[in-house]
Amino acid sequence: MPVLDFKIKHPRESILIRGDRKEDKTMRRYINGLRYDTDTATEVTSVGSYFGKSEFEWWTADLYVTKSGRWFLHGEGNAASRFSKPAFGSGNGRQEGSGIEPLLDGEARRLLEDANEFDAIDRYFPDEYEDA
């Protein structure tokens, strides 16, 4: 898969539109009594950090919405990213990781705004905006 060459820097959070990531995009997790499954949810867009893949803060993910309207990210990232995991045997250390992260509606909406996904915003959040 090609590496990202188009980046957007935003004052609230830097994101990217597309990036390279692992080929296997299938994952299922049970979190707080809810099932998040990439096979049954709808993939809306891809997002991630502005940082290069060699930076500790780098991450990339696909944004999904479930049939019941719940949002989540499925992605991967480096040691200082939202997807990092505890490093075993190193005290407070962190290491790269991957997984599913549930999102609130507002978090998903912000990611869509930052990625300029206008069609998705109109589809999933039609009553959140009014004309200026």
Name the residue type at position 87: A
Tracing tokens 């075993």 back to the chain, one arrives at: 88
pLDDT in tens, 12-27: 333 333 344 444 567 8
Tell me if 113 sits within 8 A of 37, measured CB to CB: no
Tell whether the model's pLDDT for residue 69 goes beyond 90. yes
* Residue whose C-alpha is closest to residue 45's, from 131, 112, 129, 121: 112
Task: Tell me the pTM.
Answer: 0.75
Q: How far apart are CA 58 and CA 60, in angstroms?
A: 7
Q: Can you give the pLDDT at residue 24?
A: 52
DSSP-assigned letter for residue 107: H
Q: What does 17-83 look like in DSSP terms, one character per residue? A: S-----S----EEEETTEEEETTTSEEEEEEE-SS-TTSTT-EEEEEEE-TTS-EEEEEEE-TTSTT
Average pLDDT in the 80-86 region? 89
User: What does the alpha-carbon distance between residue 114 and residue 116 come to, in Å, rounded to a whole number?
Assistant: 5
Identify the pLDDT of residue 25.
64
Lowest-pLDDT choice from 13-17, 26-30, 52-56: 13-17
Does the pLDDT of residue 112 top 70, yes or no? yes
